[in-house]
Amino acid sequence: MDPERWTEWTLCRAPVVRIYECAERLVVLSPEGDGHALTGDSAALAAEVLTFLAAPRSGAEVLAHVEALTGAPIERPEVIAELLRLLLRARALEHAGREPRSPRTRAPGPRVVLGLTGAVATMHAPALVQRLQARGFEVRVTATDSALRFVRAEALEALTHHPVVSSIWPEGQIHRVPHIELAQWADAVVICPASATTIARLAVGDHASVVAAVALAARAPVLVVPSMNPAMYAEPAVQRNLARIVEDGLHVAHPARALEVADPPGTRTPMLGGAPPPEVVVQLLEAIVRERASAAVTSPPRGAEGWDRLYRTCAPQQLPWQSEAADPDLLAALAGEGETGLSVLEIGAGLGALATAIAGRGHAIVATDVSTAALEQARARAPESRAIWLADDITETRLRGRFDVALDRACLHLLSDAEARRYAAALAGLVRPGGALVVKTLAEPTPGVTPYSAESIAALLGPEFALEREAASTLPGPSAAPAARLFVLRRQADG
């Protein structure tokens, strides 16, 4: 940023500021604790500027706003510039773009069950919940009876908007099995803090505690964060139990140096055995979820639930097929059917790049996917798009009506032989006579993928569709564009 062109800066109030007022003074602190006191008119000006910059605005707009308030031109605009620089140095302001930094609606992220036990660090659970939510996790909480001595369930329920599960068999819930339900729901489980008692339960498979029961029943990764007195942590029995659960495939965080609350406040010194701070726990959990997601994308999942989990836990750049732009050859094939006004069906819309581009060209598009998680992300990524996002499995479709064009980018090649036959039957009923079916498949065999040739695609889709054109193509992704084949077929007349 050119410091002399401050009127062109776009600035916004920082999410957190270190400022207090008293009498006629306004004191601005930097993150390092250095202070700068403003008094009188300077303090009033700083307060007004901070209020005005609640939304991103340029330095010129700040100047014009101050002039409007004073009713006269500012004779020394450098005063405004110096105030903005001061607030930037203190990080009370930050440079910002004009666009919102996040979507207006956030798509669901990974689902995590947080297990709380009777360690004193449970008092920090609300902060951990908030940090998980800030990083995009959807959080549910389980707690032992001992844990609820250190934190109120109502505080956690206010944050998560879900009840805290503290019993294997909650009163009035005779038909639900909460620990199984949560274990199946979770993309990850984190027990933080984990007491020596809960660690022992995990080591021997004791399901008597709901926290241990969820962790033992889960097929998602489990992170255990021990927290206890250093002498307890060093006990041979505790170390044997930790070694056992590591051997069983659970993830165990290394302890931090923390204060022992059993000691008098004036004598406390940091000792090894405490849980790491919430932000570190979240980082560990994110790394575990990423690792699990990376392994999952090597083999395509089966069914809507598997695809939902994949889209919740994988960042877009981890998905080999994800492209932020629509494939040019697919758009060209669509343009050959008409420049605008077509009714279009997309099968396997994923995160919606192709559907968004098609809607932007004036076509009416129904974008389908088996994954509701993918569609929610697509909707959040393009909130202004006129595409209709619809959960549907083309092999068991509930769609009715006829479309001018159906597009499939990398869906058919993931289907089994029986599913492919149902796919063909469904499209024969969904594409109007004379309409087009455009299909792109990978050209080379890979795990979980069936490549198609002109002969095999014609055998599958004929006689309802006639193959008009086949072309070499690619399937662009975040880091590679493997070879693919593009097929354009024409729906034949009924009967």
pLDDT of residue 103: 45
pLDDT of residue 175: 55
Rounded distance between C-alpha atoms, residue 449 and residue 446, angstroms:
5
Cis peptide before 463 (omega within 30 of 0): yes
Rounded distance between C-alpha atoms, residue 470 and residue 456, angstroms:
12
For the question of whether the overall pTM of this predicted structure is more than 0.75, the answer is yes
pLDDT of residue 370: 97
Which H or E run contains 67?
Answer: helix 59-70
The DSSP result for 217-232, as a single string, is H--S-EEEEE---HHH
Which H or E run contains 489?
Answer: strand 483-491
CA dihedral 77, 79, 85, 91 (to 10 degrees): -120
Cα distances (angstroms) measured from residue 351 to each of 145, 213, 392: 42, 35, 15
Rounded distance between C-alpha atoms, residue 368 and residue 378, angstroms:
11
Per-residue DSSP letter, 4 = G
Half-sphere exposure of 113 (CA within 13 A, CB side): 32
Rounded distance between C-alpha atoms, residue 363 and residue 334, angstroms:
10
pLDDT tens by residue, the chain, 495 residues = 455 689 999 999 999 999 999 999 999 999 998 889 999 999 999 999 999 999 999 999 999 999 999 888 888 999 999 999 999 999 999 998 755 444 445 667 899 999 999 999 999 999 999 999 999 999 999 999 999 999 999 999 999 999 999 998 777 666 578 899 999 999 999 999 999 999 999 999 999 999 999 999 999 999 999 999 888 999 999 999 999 999 999 999 999 887 777 777 877 777 777 899 999 999 999 999 988 887 777 777 888 999 999 999 998 988 999 999 999 999 999 999 999 999 999 999 999 999 999 999 999 999 999 999 999 999 999 999 999 999 999 999 999 999 999 999 999 999 999 999 999 999 999 999 999 999 999 999 888 899 999 999 999 999 999 999 999 999 999 988 999 999 999 999 976
Cis peptide before 193 (omega within 30 of 0): yes
pLDDT of residue 28: 96
**DSSP SS3 for 28:** strand
Which H or E run contains 485?
Answer: strand 483-491
**DSSP SS3 for 405:** strand
CB 375 within 8 A of CB 389: yes
What's the sign of the alpha-carbon dihedral 417, 422, 425, 428?
A: negative
Residue 261: count of CB within 10 angstroms of its CB: 13
Cα distances (angstroms) measured from residue 30 to each of 80, 88, 90, 267, 469: 19, 9, 4, 31, 65
Type of residue found at 247: E
Rounded distance between C-alpha atoms, residue 12 and residue 46, angstroms:
13
Per-residue DSSP letter, 352 = S
Walk me through the domains of the chain, giving residue ranges and CATH numbers: 3-95 (3.90.930.70), 111-296 (3.40.50.1950), 319-491 (3.40.50.150)
CB 24 within 8 A of CB 39: yes
CB 26 within 8 A of CB 37: yes
